[in-house]
Every structure is written in structure tokens, then in C-alpha cells.
Structure 1
Amino acid sequence: MSDSHVVVLGAGLGGTIAAYEIRDALKGKARVTVVNKGEDYWFVPSNPWVAVGWREPEAIRVHLPPVMQKRGIAYSSVGAAKVHPTENRVELLDGSAIDYDYLVIATGPDLAYDEIPGFGPDGHTQSICHTDHAAAAHAKFEELCANPRPIVVGAAQGASCYGPAYEMAMVLDTELKRRKIRDKVPMTFVTPEPYIGHLGLDGVGDTKSTLESEMRERHIKWLTNTRVTSVEDGVLHAEEVNDDGSVKKAHDLDFGWAMLLPAFRGVSAVQGIDGLSNPRGFILTDKHQRNPTYRNIFALGVCIAIPPTGPTPLPVGVPKTGFMIESMVTAIAHNLKQIHAGEEPTHEATWNAICLADFGDGGVAFVAKPQIPPRNTNWSASGKWVHLAKIGFEKYFLRKVRKGESEPFYEKLALHVLGIKKLRFD
């Protein structure tokens, strides 16, 4: 099998490093093309810092076409309109198309702000899901600082990424204290999680008591088991529910600045394709990251379907964290190498999790092996060192993307940045 064509759809955290690793694994055996909407990679984990002015957007941007060209990877910035798996073709937004022999879907999510009236950056709340959203949130934050009012932070029902919500709340607290106006800004954390520190993972280590203690120390009130029903200018309407899902209490929360993470769904290019995606638009994959129906399609990252860890009164999704995504990338690269050698794929992602939640003046780190319980390793810790580790993480990952390096990064993070050499990640 020579000169086959592998198309990577998406150039976020997963898609970018997938292109690098697949290129190295299949060098001389396949062409690699990246299809992405736009020419830039943005380091999304730094968006909470952008929202309070600690980072300029340009500092966390990588212009991808020159890097891809240097690595021998073709790049299209047009964006995908629709995947046609029966035709092995990706239709692009300009009406053209790219044929493929193998497709790796790494699109990330579509943000479902429209599912709640008045929600999101086109409504009355801010967002840190994209860097341009975070830059707009910073402008609104400066307005808040000039005219202090309450803040509401958290996540909406169905969200599957909770770490950034906790980070945003703590970073806001830290910055408001630096400006000496924290006493003028009451803050409430709203989440569908059944308890603080659930994180979509039923907790990791002692995250429940650690995060509760942190929020008490910072005078951040919280509402768990809470759904957002609608948002008006300056007022968030929510319902706190009982364990059976019945309404316990309605809340009308005044705010001058609000940011809640939305539920995710699959992007329009893959929605409604029988056998490829589920009703929510997430890609169906087997243990080899391969679609069961279309065997030449693989998928990784936030766009894949993962069932929740267990029943909760409100929908609480499972996060796809960086180490987990990186292990999916490596499995796909090795499996494609096996397929090109005429073998059946055997590699599986480890789905371990290493997370750094930065709080501006400290933070919480946790390791879950595997990410979904029950686990062989279930560890969490907190301290000022986490903030420094997050800065190092940003620096080294951006360097990896800018240089086109394919060597896996997160295990290095575990062994060297966190300094937890007693933990193994094989």
C-alpha cells in the first residue's frame, strides 16, 4: 500500500500533534493533509489567563502553514462542510473536496450555546472556549472592574469540561484581589455536577474536599445539581434539582460578568451520518479509535463518543483531557502504520489523565489511571507549584507545536514537571 492519503480533520491540540505523529509513522508510505478552518493553532488551556489580561492572544498562537510545510504536511485552511464516508471524501466550505484513503477526525466540539436562551457570547454570558471569546471576555472584565458587580462562573447542564470553569473562578478571585476590589464582587459557582470536584469523573483523589475547601477559603458560593434555564442581561435563571431530577429551588442570579462552559456536540460536518456519529454528533469508535462502520476512519479527542461515568440527576459529560487525547493520537499513528504494513491494528489508547488546574496563585493537580474509574492510580495534590507547572506546560507545549515535534509530551509532564516519578504511565 503506497502513497495513500491520510487526511486529518481539525488542527487543535489533538489534530495538530496527530498530523506530526502520523507523518513520522507513515513517512514514505502516505501523504498527510490537515484540513482546518483557519491557519492558526491556539493554546486553549491559557484562555482563562487571556480573560483577565494575563496573556495576550498573540502569545498563545502558532501560525501552522509554515510548520506543516516544513514537516512535509499539506494544509488547507478552508474548513470542512461535510464528511462523505461512503465516497471517501471531505467536502470543503468553498465547494471543493479532498479525497482520502484514511480519515482522522479531530475536529473538537461544536459549542451548544443555542440550547439555552440568552446563553453564550452571542447572548449575555462570556466564553473561554475560543481565544477570541476569551479576548472579548477580558474587555467585559475590565468594564466590571470599573463598575464592580457580582460574578457567576461554572458550567451548563451537559457540559463535559469542568476544569477550566474552576480555573476561571479561582483566577478571577486572584486578579480581583490584586486589584483590591474582591470585596465588591460576590461570586457564585454554578454547575450540574452532583458535588464540587466531580469533574465529570466522579472525582479524582480528594478533589471534592480540596476544591470545596479552596472555594470556602476564597468566599465563592456554589450551587450543584443546577441547570441553567435562561439568561437575561445581568440575570441568570437556574434550577437546583433533587437527586430524582425534580426541581428543588429556582434561582435568579444577578451578575455583571458571567462565564459558564456549554454542553458540546459534534460539528456540523459529521452530524447526522448514520454509523459514523451518535445522535449528539459525536464520533463512534472502537478500542482502536476506529469507527466500526467506516473502517478507514479514526477519531480522537473531544469529538468522540464516551458514555458518562454513571447516572447523575443532570447530564454530566466525561472530559477528554490532554494526556488521554495524546494517547489516542499515538494509538492511531501506530495502528495506521500496522495497516500500511498489511496488519490488523492492535494499539489502544491508555486513557490516563494528568491535569493541572491553575488558580492564579496556586492550583490543583490530579492523576487518574485510567481516567474513567475504577482506577489503578487515583491521586490529587495542591499547592503554588501547580501554577508554576502550568506556566511550564504552556511554554513547552507551544514549543512542541511550533517545532512540529511528534514525541509524546504528557508523560514528560508527569515525570518531570510534576515530579511524581513514583507513578508509572505504561
Structure 2
Amino acid sequence: MASPSSIGPHVLVLGGNFAGLSSAQRVRQFAGPSVRITVIDRKDYLLFVPNIPADVFEDQDPALRQRMELREVLAKDDIAFVQGEVKAIDVDRKRVEFVPNERPGSETQAIGYDYLVIAVGNRLAYDAIEGFAEFGHTVSDLYHGNRLREYLHRGGYRGGPVAIGSARFHQGNGAKGLQPYPGGSIPDALAACEGPPVEVMLSMATWLGKHGLGGPDKVTVFTPAELIAEDAGETVVKQLLEIASGMGFHYMNKTQDIRRLTADGIEFADGRSVEAELKIIFPDWVAHDFLKGLPICDDMGFVKTDLLMRNPDYPSVFAAGDAAAVTVPKLGAIGHQQTEIVGRQIAKDLGALTAEEADRPLQPVVYCIGDMGGGKAFYIRSNTWYGGDTAVLKMGRMAYFLKMRYRDLFFQTHGKTPDWGLDLAELLAEGHTG
């Protein structure tokens, strides 16, 4: 392919889901028409993962409701799209190898870049959990969501005990020493993201009650960590656990990891087990193989960056979203914060923004809105895990309204939710009771 430098700076974005799409859009927003932007993704649609659980419990097909086609959306901003599987990155030669994957059997191609944004997410390591294929369920994609939907609504589930929780996350050392808040740090997480297990736990109990099959006392939620959803901060988590305990949920912590799933339940690495007919699992999140061993990555294959999302050794390389080592937990809201930083940094390099406008380092905030079923949801805004001072938990119908309307707004604006949207969400959620 032609060298991108011959036709102006080329920004190559790897990944087209939340972090990839937003990175490309932000670069165009801040850098303007002076750059050429290309997005590569193995699929040509964005998957709106956060709302799959609601579809599952409401017996709606998420494949028809939680997809947004990428090609037309990107074309509106003059962003090129390539559907292909990334195979290798050569950061010294500034080139990426990929295989076009519309049809099997394609040859390996290469494309150069002036700036590289790695936003490929990560692998969900269900294949590392013994017994998952036979006995496990989850809500992380369209296939597994529909598989669970069929099991719940078409007679597979017999009404037995339910266990919901996470395998152990292996984080890597790429964020060591970073201080997003004075005196704070990027902590070590034992679970990749535990808003979804809490959401599914609450929704599952509502679904059981709606179908006359019991309630919270039939559900056990478990975590490898000392506290579930530890990234929400101790203040918020203790409130959640007090509420969940009062409702009748069972709770297991410090399970260390999942050893295996069986027809009868789950065996944990710490030697304990739990009986469960239905096992809804959230796996370890691991880096893609093509990232492992690269000089831009940490010991687990996540991309090392500073708090301006730039690799310290290869300043033309950025990362955003789950592929970045600094993204802990692996949470979409943090990835969204990072993509604006990426866009501003590249624009600064090209002279479109000043350092004062661009050099605003990441201060991660956990934003999480989780469906509880029955038209209610929980809302969390917290940064205490990183050394901040904000910890908010709300529950009620307004939080549910915000969760469902955000998806609609995201699709209507093609991912360009207005900057005032977050401020309005905070005002509505935190100023509303019930």
C-alpha cells in the first residue's frame, strides 16, 4: 500500500468498538481534515455490549437491537474502514499486518502509519475455564446472550440455584507508578470488571420473581477479590453488599479463581464450591496474541502508556480502552475518557491544539449504570479507588431511564453523544430518589 506520509499524516486506529470508534472520531474532531484516518476491525459493526443482559431477561434478540453498522458511520467523517484481522505490529517500521476477513483465504496485507491508536479491546478467555463450553453461560456477546435467552425462556432452565461471578483477572505491570490523583495509584484488580456480575445478579433475582421461581435467596454472587466491584470503592461496595444481603443474596469472596464448572456447580481455586444449575460467568480478560512480547506492551500484553495515553518509548503509539494497561477496571466509561485525550494529543502534535488545551491527563472515574430488572437500575460514580474523593450510589427508575436512553442517544448520534450528556446524567441520577 502507498506510504501514508506521502499524502499527509496517517492515523491508524486498530479496533472499531467503543474505544476505536470514539478515538477515530475524536482525532477527526480535534485535528480536522489535515489527517487521513483508517480504522481496522475484524467485524463491520459496533456491538453495544452493556445492554445485552436487558435483552436476555426481556426475551429480546440482542442481535437485532445492539448492533450499529460502522462503514456508513465512519464515512460521514471521511474515515476509511478496513474489515480485517490484525496479525502483527512492527513499531519500528511503523506498519501493521492484517488479513482481510470478509471471506476466508485472504492474503496478508500491510499498512503504514504515522500515528497508531491501539483500541482492540481484549480476548475473553472462556476457553481457559474448564467446563464452560458444556455448563457455562454468559452475556458478553450476541451468541452467548441468545444462548442464555433460549435457556431461560424456552424451557432449559429448571429453576435450580444460580451462581454469578468472575474468574481471576491477570492484570500486568504496565500501569505501575502512575498517579492519576495526588497520592493515588492504578490499583491491582483481581477481576476485570464487576459491574456486569452485580447487574446480572440483581436482574436475575427480578426475573426469578417475575416467573414464580424464587428470588434473591436462590442466587449466589462470587468474586476472586476481597470485595466484589472493588473498583467502585469501599464506600459504595459496602452499601451494595448491605442492600444485597438484606434482599437475601448469597455472597462468596476471595474464591481466588474458577477451577472448573460441572453440571452441578462451580469448583473454586481456594477449595470451596457452590451448587448451581445455572452458572453465569465473566472470564479473565487477556491481551491479543499479536500484542504479547511487543516493546510497547507490559508483561501480560497490555499496551503501556502514560496518563496522556501515549507509549513512553514510542510516542507515535497510543492506546485506549481495554487494550491499555492503565484501563483498570476494563470499563467502557474509562475508555471513553481516554479517547478524548488521544484525539487532543494527536491534534497537539499536528499544531491544531495548544499544550494547554491538550495536556489534560487521565483521572479515571468509574461510571456504571446497571439494570436491576423491573424498570430500575443502579448508578455509580466513584473515583476513590484511585485516590479521589467521590463515591455516589443511587438506585431507582431514573437510573434505568438513563441507561436505556443512553443506548438510544448513542445510536442516534452515531457514537457522538453530546459533551453535556454526562453532566445531565449526573444531575438527573444524583438529584433523583427512586
- Give TM-score, length-normalised by structure 1: 0.85
Does the alignment pair 1:16 with 2:34? Answer: no
Aligned to 2:252: 223
State the 1:177 CA deviation: 1.3
Aligned to 1:169: 201
Letter in 2 for 1:364: F
Does the alignment pair 1:335 with 2:373? Answer: no
- Give the Cα separation in 1 of the matches to 2:339 and 2:99: 26
Aligned to 2:363: 350
State the 1:176 CA deviation: 1.7
Aligned to 2:316: 296
Does the alignment pair 1:385 with 2:398? Answer: yes
State the 1:331 CA deviation: 0.8
Aligned to 2:131: 118
Out of 70, 74, 99, the residue aligned to residue 93 of structure 1 is 99
Aligned to 1:244: none
Report Cα offsets for 1:141-195 as digits up to 9, x if no partner.
Answer: 2356652222111111222100001111111111121111226982211111213
Letter in 2 for 1:279: D
Tell me the C-alpha RMSD between the 2 structures: 2.5
Out of 265, 268, 278, the residue aligned to residue 257 of structure 1 is 278
- Give the Cα separation in 1 of the matches to 2:72 and 2:251: 46
- Give the Cα separation in 1 of the matches to 2:314 and 2:111: 17
- Relative to structure 2, which stretch is displaced further, 375-384 or 175-184? 175-184
SS in 1 for 2:241: helix
Report matched runs for 1:16-165 at 5 Å: 16-57=21-62, 58-94=64-100, 95-119=108-132, 122-143=133-154, 147-158=158-169, 159-165=191-197
Report matched runs for 1:233-312 at 5 Å: 233-240=263-270, 250-273=271-294, 275-306=295-326
Aligned partners of 1:112 and 1:264 also within 8 Å: yes
Distance 1:183 1:319, change over 3 A: closer
**Which structure 2 residue ranges, 5 or more long, are not aligned?**
101-107, 170-190
Aligned partners of 1:205 and 1:380 also within 8 Å: no
Report Cα offsets for 1:107-163 as digits up to 9, x if no partner.
Answer: 1111122333223xx342112222322122212223566522221111112221000
Distance 1:268 1:406, change over 3 A: farther
Aligned to 1:188: 220
State the 1:236 CA deviation: 1.3
Distance 1:117 1:146, change over 3 A: closer
Out of 376, 380, 388, the residue aligned to residue 366 of structure 1 is 380
- Give TM-score, length-normalised by structure 2: 0.83
Aligned partners of 1:157 and 1:262 also within 8 Å: yes
Letter in 2 for 1:223: M
- Give the Cα separation in 2 of the matches to 1:189 and 1:82: 39
Identity %: 23
Aligned partners of 1:354 and 1:414 also within 8 Å: no
Distance 1:3 1:407, change over 3 A: farther
Letter in 1 for 2:268: A
Aligned partners of 1:155 and 1:190 also within 8 Å: yes
State the 1:104 CA deviation: 0.5
SS in 2 for 1:222: strand
Letter in 1 for 2:303: I
State the 1:74 CA deviation: 0.4
SS in 2 for 1:134: helix
SS in 1 for 2:380: strand
- Give the Cα separation in 1 of the matches to 2:421 and 2:112: 33
State the 1:215 CA deviation: 4.5
How many residues end up aligned between the 2 structures? 393
Aligned to 2:230: 200
State the 1:359 CA deviation: 0.8
Aligned to 1:311: none
Aligned partners of 2:168 and 2:258 also within 8 Å: yes
- Relative to structure 2, which stretch is displaced further, 78-87 or 140-149? 140-149
- Give the Cα separation in 2 of the matches to 1:322 and 1:420: 24
Aligned partners of 1:237 and 1:253 also within 8 Å: yes
Aligned partners of 2:364 and 2:386 also within 8 Å: no
Report Cα offsets for 1:25-83 as digits up to 9, x if no partner.
Answer: 22221111110111111111012113324442211111111111122110011121122
Report Cα offsets for 1:312-369 as digits up to 9, x if no partner.
Answer: xxxxxx314333222211111111001011977623223223221221132321212x
Report matched runs for 1:384-403 at 5 Å: 384-401=397-414
State the 1:254 CA deviation: 3.0
SS in 1 for 2:74: helix
- Relative to structure 2, which stretch is displaced further, 77-86 or 207-216? 207-216
